Amino acid sequence: MNRIRTIGIWGCVCGLLSLSRPAVLAQSGTDRTQARTATASVTSDSLRPDDDAPRVRAHFSTDSILLGDRFQLSVEVDKDMMQVVEFPAFDNGRLADSIEIVSEGPVDTLAQEGRRLKLKRTYELTCFEPAVYRMGRFPVLYIDKNLVDTLWSEDSLQVTVQTIEIDTTTQQIYDIKPPIKTPLRFGEISGYLLRILLGLIVLGALAYVLIRRLQRKPLLGGTPAPEDPPHVAAIKSLEKLHAQKLWQSGKQKQYYTRLTDILRAYMQRRYGFRAMEYTSAEILTKLRNEALPDRARTRIESLLPLSDFVKFAKYVPDAQQNEDAYRDAYYFVEETKASEQEQAVGSDTVEGPAGVGGTSVASAAGQATGSPAVGKDSGSQTPGKAAGSLTSGKVAGASATGPRSEPSGGGKNPTTEGKEERS
């Protein structure tokens, strides 16, 4: 009995299980269908493009060109103002193997609506190879936070490059013509001739000014001012040197250099030899041939060696020697100045080059009158005039009787002293 009861119970259980299984199966089928629908919707959403991503459009200005013609490629990007895009850079200057980039325009903003911006960039292109070029879609770099991606244009690019067909059976091909020989026209060289003429005028003007300066003549012509006689120019220079007080400032060498230069310039004009180029010994040798007063010869023979010692041996004379040197130079000029007759004959002639002998005008004048050309301290006179008189009797800047300033430190006027010596 117990066994029969157990079998009966298991049978009831199995019956109940068989009745409930179709409902479970039906429920599990519904769940699977819903899961499949959800998966399909997610997949379709992931494949759908993002509405906020930038959009790229690219197109050629024409779809067909002739060989060598220029055309444009326009690239437009529609993006949010916070998004960053970069247009590609072509390093080799070519968009394709045979399409050359002539120029790249700047990035321009076409429009702005709210947060949306429309950018545009234009490329100028050309091509010299006839063909049909299919270039696909144009790329633009897109930077989104830490992600760098490439966006492609919606339409692909295509252009046809055509050439001109030439019928060689009816058209003859000629060689390149040589350059045409045209006659030379004046208008082609007039500019060069004008520049050359202006240059010659400028050079001529400069040469004229330089020559007039060297000749010490006025630039605009006219009669130049008469030159002072040699003794007048020397006296002026000596008085100017004395007023500078060089040796009082310790400039002994400069003082004696200037002093001897004044005497050399005077002797060169007075006696006609190149005293500026001679040494002191050569000057003294030349003066031996001239008729000089004894006092004047003594003065110059003591002054020139003293100047050489100061200039070359660093000798430092005392104040009395410096004043005596100025006095000797002054009276040497006064005692040897030319007479009016000698000046009328023309005593400013200069001898030839150094080393070539010549007779001075002063010696010639002395020989012609039968007496030496002496200065003021000699007792002789030239015919009709005293040898010590000046040309006009009035000399600007120089006195006929002595220096304006008192050269010696003893308080005596050199003129008075000279008169006492002559008496």
CA distance 36 to 188: 92
Whether residue 118 contacts residue 78, with contact meaning beta carbons closer than 8 Å, is answered with yes
What is the model's pTM? 0.36
Answer for the pair 232, 398: CB distance below 8 angstroms, yes or no. yes
Q: Going by DSSP bridges, is the β-strand pair 70-80/139-144 parallel, antiparallel, or unpaired?
A: unpaired
Q: How far apart are the first and last CA of the chain?
A: 201
Q: Rounded CA gap, 85 and 143, in Å?
A: 6
What is the C-alpha to C-alpha distance for residues 156 and 134, in angstroms, rounded to an integer?
Answer: 8
CA distance 155 to 169: 43
At how many degrees (to 10) do helices 319-336 and 252-271 cross?
10
CA distance 289 to 283: 10
Contact 418, 377 (CB under 8 A): yes
Phi, psi angle pair for 72, to nearest 5°: -120, 145
User: Residue 31: what are its φ and ψ, rounded to 5°?
Assistant: -65, -40
Helix axes 280-287, 294-312, angle to 10 degrees: 170
Q: How far apart are CA 369 and CA 146, in angstroms?
A: 121
- Domain 55-162 CATH superfamily: Immunoglobulins (2.60.40.10)
Please state the φ and ψ torsions of residue 85, each to the nearest 5 degrees: -130, 150
User: pLDDT for 110-149, tens place per residue?
Assistant: 898 888 899 999 999 999 999 999 988 999 988 877 788 8
Sequence ranges of the chain with CATH classification 2.60.40.10: 55-162
The one-digit pLDDT tens for each residue of the chain (423 residues) are: 344 444 444 454 444 444 444 333 333 444 444 444 443 333 333 333 455 788 999 999 999 999 999 999 999 999 888 888 888 888 788 888 889 999 999 999 889 888 889 999 999 999 999 999 998 899 998 887 778 888 899 889 999 999 888 777 777 778 898 888 888 888 889 999 999 999 999 999 999 999 988 887 777 766 666 788 899 999 999 999 999 998 999 899 999 999 999 999 999 999 989 989 999 999 999 999 888 899 999 999 999 999 999 999 999 999 999 999 999 999 999 999 877 656 655 544 434 333 333 333 333 333 333 333 333 333 333 333 333 333 333 333 333 334 444 443 333 333 334 333 433
Do the beta carbons of residue 134 and residue 99 sit within 8 Å? Answer: no
CA distance 62 to 70: 10
CA–CA distance, 3 with 9 (Å, rounded to integer): 10
User: What is the CB neighbour count within 10 angstroms for residue 52?
Assistant: 10
Cβ neighbours for 5, distance < 8 A, ≥ 6 positions apart: none
Q: How many angstroms separate the CA atoms of 121 and 110, rounded?
A: 10
